[in-house]
Amino acid sequence: MAAMTIAKLAKKKLAGEKITSITAYDASFAKLFAECGVDFMLVGDSLGNVVQGQSSTLPVTLADIVYHTQAVRRGAPEAFVMADMPFMTYASPAQACDNAAELMRAGANMVKLEGGDWLLETIRCLVERSVPVCAHLGLLPQSVNVLGGYKIQGREQSAADNTLRQALALQEAGAQLLVLECVPVALGQRISEALTIPTIGIGAGPHTDGQILVMHDMFGLNSDYLPKFVKNFLADAGDLRGAVEMYVAQVKAGQFPGPEHSFE
């Protein structure tokens, strides 16, 4: 299979073909995901929760993400790999450029940042220096202490309008993908239709251009708590490969997420 690129992801949006993504943290699962046809992988700071056992993503360091990005790249040499920039590693444009360079050297094809208006200058700075950027709006796990918990974002009309405005501004600044997390179905659709760049949803309804799940969630490994937007594909498929193949097939067919995985 030919290597995935940002241009190919953009063409999928234009063609109405759904994009599939899963978080990955090591070589073995990266290899499996690549073999199953997942379009891209995210080395997420969610590793703080699911790998390190932290209560949030905040303790994750740049060195942690570098280490796991290197592992994922070894397991899937041809894959499109996105890496999260951890908490407070992009507080200024200069800091963001230095730290993004570390992630790109580790094997990332793109970096992901959480936030809206305050990131516009940083995104312009990164893109001008040849670092592709994925933006992230809606629920921002790194801002959990400011948000007061893990809550649905954009339910009020004014908040929805502001999220759309920020999405357009991030696109204008040079972001080439946008992750939308935990927003109502209608807002996910509205933003996806307004943007020319692909939107990747997690708890954002079925109308985004693609979907992403934390791998531990889609395998049902976080049995203490599974968010509403998660489906345990392993329970239905019976083995890991079958679970990934089922996830890819159901996203591409528009069968996942269903109404039971979405917020109105």
Predicted local confidence at residue 147, as pLDDT: 64
Predicted local confidence at residue 148, as pLDDT: 64
Q: Determine if residue 84 is labeled as part of a ligand binding site.
A: yes
Spatial contact of 163 and 187, defined as CB atoms under 8 Å apart: yes
Predicted local confidence at residue 227, as pLDDT: 84
Spatial contact of 231 and 257, defined as CB atoms under 8 Å apart: yes
- Euclidean distance between the first and final Cα of the chain, in Å? 37
Question: Catalytic residues, which ones?
Answer: 181
SS3 string, 9-60, reads: HHHHHHHCCCEEEEECCCHHHHHHHHHCCCCEEEECCCHHHHCCCCCCCCCC
Predicted local confidence at residue 1, as pLDDT: 57
Predicted local confidence at residue 223, as pLDDT: 62
Spatial contact of 197 and 179, defined as CB atoms under 8 Å apart: no
Q: Which domains does the chain have, with CATH numbers?
A: 6-12+19-261 (3.20.20.60)
Tell me the sheet residues that pair with 20: 211
Q: Determine if residue 46 is labeled as part of a ligand binding site.
A: yes
Nearest Cα to 181, choosing from 253, 246, 85, 263?
263
C-alpha angle 245-25-252 in degrees, rounded to nearest 5:
25
Q: Determine if residue 161 is labeled as part of a ligand binding site.
A: no
Predicted local confidence at residue 152, as pLDDT: 86
Q: pTM for the complete prediction?
A: 0.96
- Could you say which residues of the chain have pLDDT below 50? none
